[in-house]
Amino acid sequence: MGDETNRIKEEMEKWENGLLKKTLAKAKERENLPVKRLYTPLDLEGHSYLDKVGFPGQYPFTRGIQPTMYRGRFWTMRMYSGFATAEETNQRYKYLLAQVITGLSVAFDLPTQIGYDSDHPLAEGEVGKVGVAIDSLKDMEDLFEGIPLGKVSTSMTINAPAAVLLAMYQAVAEKQGFKAEELDGTIQNDVLKEYIARGTYIYPPGPSMRLITNIFEYCSKHIPKWNTISLGAYHIREAGSNAAQEIAFAFANAIDYIEAAIKAGLNIDDFAPRISWIFATDINVLEEVAKFRAARRLWAKILKERFGAKDPRSCMLRIHVHTSGSVLTAQQPLNNVVRVTLQALAAVLGGTNSMATCAYDEALALPTEESATLALRTQQILAYESGAADTVDPLAGSYYVEALTDQLQEQAEAYLTKIDAMGGAVKAIEKGYVQSEIQRSAYESQLAVERGQKIIVGVNKFQTHYEPPKNLLKVDPAVRERQIVKLNELKTNRDNARVQTALKTLKECAQGTDNLYPPILEAVKAYATLGEICDTLRDVFGEYTPPQIL
């Protein structure tokens, strides 16, 4: 091995002084490339295959969390969707299920994400726009009408009011005749990233952490198959972070949740296997592949070494990937078909477990039925036609990919050390550290585009006249009025005494220390609205005010 290394060094020197020198004298390379010209075995000196790469399905999981990966089963193909009312979104779900998506992924509108009913003044203009409007159990019943919840897996992008939406889901499933134990799916339930990257927070960190750990606790007993948190690395990336920051800041948040749960008396192996992840997949294919591999390895190490997890499932980083929307351009939107394909390819080569692909028109509006179908077909073509899914972790052993995997892990670990020194993620967020790091990366990357160092086809190079796509999806502004009529009917017809009692019990629970989930479930079943439930908690917990970082 030593002889081989020396020979490579000698040969490389000869190559550099000979052939390379001559070539560079004739033709310069492009400037400012972020990676080295060439990767060789020299970049992996001392790199142990068994320690760092290993075998799929076992520690450190670099090559994937299942032994056979896509040879056994393809990743779960989801389409993130939701718009207008529950009835309209239900139609879209039935359409997508007919196009053979293998999991549902619910997008809620902003009022729902922030715990407001559709009739709240701040909801004006927002109802049904970026997702479906859900005000009460009635809406949830309509959303899943005719979709057997014991038979599908559903991912719900919901954070601050996650407990309420999960309770609604559970209540609908029970009405359909399924048991809580049968339910399979995910709630995002990651509020820390809302403070730093996405902005749909309600309560301050303390009570938010309580709601989250209460869900961990309830689900570990009653909804054991449910993924109780899906940490949002995605949103951190979309807010402007780079790949290493995406891993580091999301992991820092996860470490805080784990510590809070342990402090609340939970055992690491009782809840860690139900932690799942959503990552972005950007367009730099090889860097993204390395990112997923580095993230899996680092997560396994943290769980094993820092938290003493014994169950291998606790160490598995289960990844859902959503293709990065910020990569898409409004200019020449058909180019986005290619971008999404590359992003999705990176996720497949990087061993994702589940994926949702953006539609090409998403830099302009919500996807239409046609553009959503094409986005799904992209995944199906990758799975069935491209061959990328035929062998496990096909890029392992690439000098570049392995070196980059090591490098991203090191960079992410350096950030984690820094955040630990600040006292953890919540402290770092309160100081504005994480936000300002993300903001700096976002601005630098925009400046690189402005200066032409970073090329975006159709935007700062190869601009041509293009026809904007026709038939974009438009949400009827009357959706809000329809929701309000429905809300008023609900309030007239429900058992209001039961609602008041449920809300009173919830308030008392919030003032104490008991698990909040059972009284939320009772309020939901009594048809208390999302706004009423969240307001009850707002009264006790207050609302989060972000520090201004600019």
Footprint of another protein (CB under 8 A): 110-111, 113-114, 116, 121-126, 129-130, 194, 198-200, 238-240, 326, 328-331, 363-366, 439, 442-443, 446-447, 449-450, 456, 458-460, 468, 472, 474-475, 477, 546, 548, 550
Q: How far is the CB of 545 from another protein (least distance, A)?
A: 9
**Residue placing its CB nearer to another protein in the complex, 336 or 515:** 336
Q: Are the CB atoms for 300 and 307 separated by under 8 Å?
A: no
Burial class for 447, CB neighbours closer than 10 Å (0-12, 13-18, 19+)? exposed
Q: Are the CB atoms for 86 and 132 separated by under 8 Å?
A: yes
Q: How far is the CB of 111 from another protein (least distance, A)?
A: 6
Rounded Cα–Cα distance for residues 133 and 111 (Å): 7
**Residue placing its CB nearer to another protein in the complex, 374 or 442:** 442
Q: How far is the CB of 462 from another protein (least distance, A)?
A: 13
**Residue placing its CB nearer to another protein in the complex, 193 or 320:** 193
Q: How far is the CB of 446 from another protein (least distance, A)?
A: 5
**Residue placing its CB nearer to another protein in the complex, 326 or 453:** 326
Tokens of 312: 């291998």
Q: Are the CB atoms for 347 and 291 separated by under 8 Å?
A: no
**Residue placing its CB nearer to another protein in the complex, 41 or 199:** 199
**Residue placing its CB nearer to another protein in the complex, 65 or 114:** 114
Q: How far is the CB of 121 from another protein (least distance, A)?
A: 7
Determine the 3-state secondary structure of 159 from DSSP. coil
Q: Are the CB atoms for 151 and 183 separated by under 8 Å?
A: no
**Residue placing its CB nearer to another protein in the complex, 123 or 389:** 123
Rounded Cα–Cα distance for residues 210 and 510 (Å): 10
Q: How far is the CB of 162 from another protein (least distance, A)?
A: 16
Sheet holding 226-227, edge to edge: 226-227, 184-187, 153-157, 103-107, 76-81, 354-356, 318-323, 275-281, 229-232
**Residue placing its CB nearer to another protein in the complex, 35 or 447:** 447
Q: Are the CB atoms for 250 and 207 separated by under 8 Å?
A: no
Q: How far is the CB of 332 from another protein (least distance, A)?
A: 10
Q: Are the CB atoms for 155 and 230 separated by under 8 Å?
A: yes
Rounded Cα–Cα distance for residues 272 and 263 (Å): 14
**Residue placing its CB nearer to another protein in the complex, 19 or 122:** 122
Determine the 3-state secondary structure of 444 from DSSP. helix
Q: How far is the CB of 83 from another protein (least distance, A)?
A: 9
Q: How far is the CB of 131 from another protein (least distance, A)?
A: 10
**Residue placing its CB nearer to another protein in the complex, 232 or 350:** 232
Q: What is the DSSP string of 308-368?
A: ---SGGGG--EEEEEE-GGG--SSSTTHHHHHHHHHHHHHHHTT-SEEE---TTTTTSSPP
Return all residues near 375 (Cβ < 8 A) that are at least 6 apart: 79, 340, 357, 358, 359, 360, 367
Q: Where are the alpha helices (DSSP H) in 423-453?
A: 425-430, 433-450
Q: How far is the CB of 397 from another protein (least distance, A)?
A: 36
Q: How far is the CB of 327 from another protein (least distance, A)?
A: 10
**Residue placing its CB nearer to another protein in the complex, 422 or 456:** 456
Q: What is the 3-state secondary structure (H, E, C) of 43-112?
A: HHCCCCHHHHHCCCCCCCCCCCCCCCHHHCCCCEEEEEECCCCHHHHHHHHHHHHHCCCCEEEEEECHHH
